[in-house]
């Protein structure tokens, strides 16, 4: 049994729409105009929902960094931001391990990352538990600028498959 103080929120934000430039390294791809607008809209939504993160874990890719910058311009907030290359190339298990290792005492952790890792992680952590509408959003492909909101009770180190509830899923468009 956990107390209300053990309740944690994990926010998984897929980066916004990025350019497709032949020959440009994937890691260096930048947001498009639509991507910047959508990222700002994601920030507005997070702010409107009262979902401020104590810790933001962001992939080192240009498009994820820019997504977070534009989300902040839209109203998102994060007390501390850490950039981690594991969130770029580590897949679902790498993202999970990063949250476990770096989550610490934070009540709300936001991860800015990539698909399919964001959608697969949200789905596996919840294993169907939570909002039917939120699970339908994930099943629809979790488009760019989508946010999954998961609730979890316990220490981040123990976060695992089936240990969270998917409360909301939102696709931001600006």
**β-strand partners of 18:** 31
pLDDT for residue 2:
33
The predicted model scores a pTM of 0.95
pLDDT for residue 116:
95
Annotated domain spans of the chain: 7-14+29-171
* CATH class label, 7-14+29-171: alpha beta
Residue with tokens 């099943």: 139
pLDDT for residue 3:
38
Tens-level pLDDT at each residue, the chain (174 residues) = 233 456 999 999 999 999 999 999 999 999 999 999 999 999 999 999 999 999 999 999 999 999 999 999 999 999 999 999 999 999 999 999 999 999 999 999 999 999 999 999 999 999 999 999 999 989 989 999 999 999 999 999 999 999 999 999 999 999
Gap between the Cα atoms of 125 and 165, Å rounded:
7
């Amino acid at each position: 049994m956990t107390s209300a103080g053990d309740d944690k929120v994990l926010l998984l934000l897929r980066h916004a729409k990025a350019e497709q430039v032949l020959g440009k390294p994937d890691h260096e791809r930048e947001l498009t105009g639509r991507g910047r607008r959508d990222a700002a809209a994601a920030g507005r939504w997070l702010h409107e929902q009262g979902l401020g993160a104590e810790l933001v874990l962001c992939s080192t890719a240009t498009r994820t960094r820019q997504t977070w910058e534009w989300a902040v311009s839209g109203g998102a907030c994060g007390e501390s931001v850490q950039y981690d290359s594991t969130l770029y190339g580590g897949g679902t298990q790498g993202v999970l391990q990063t949250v476990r290792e770096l989550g610490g005492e934070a009540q709300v952790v936001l991860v800015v990352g990539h698909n399919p890792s964001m959608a697969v992680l949200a789905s596996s952590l919840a294993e169907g538990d939570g909002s039917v509408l939120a699970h339908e959003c994930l099943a629809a492909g979790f488009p760019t600028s989508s946010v999954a909101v998961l609730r979890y009770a316990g220490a981040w180190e123990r976060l695992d498959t089936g240990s969270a509830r998917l409360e909301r899923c939102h696709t931001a468009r600006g």
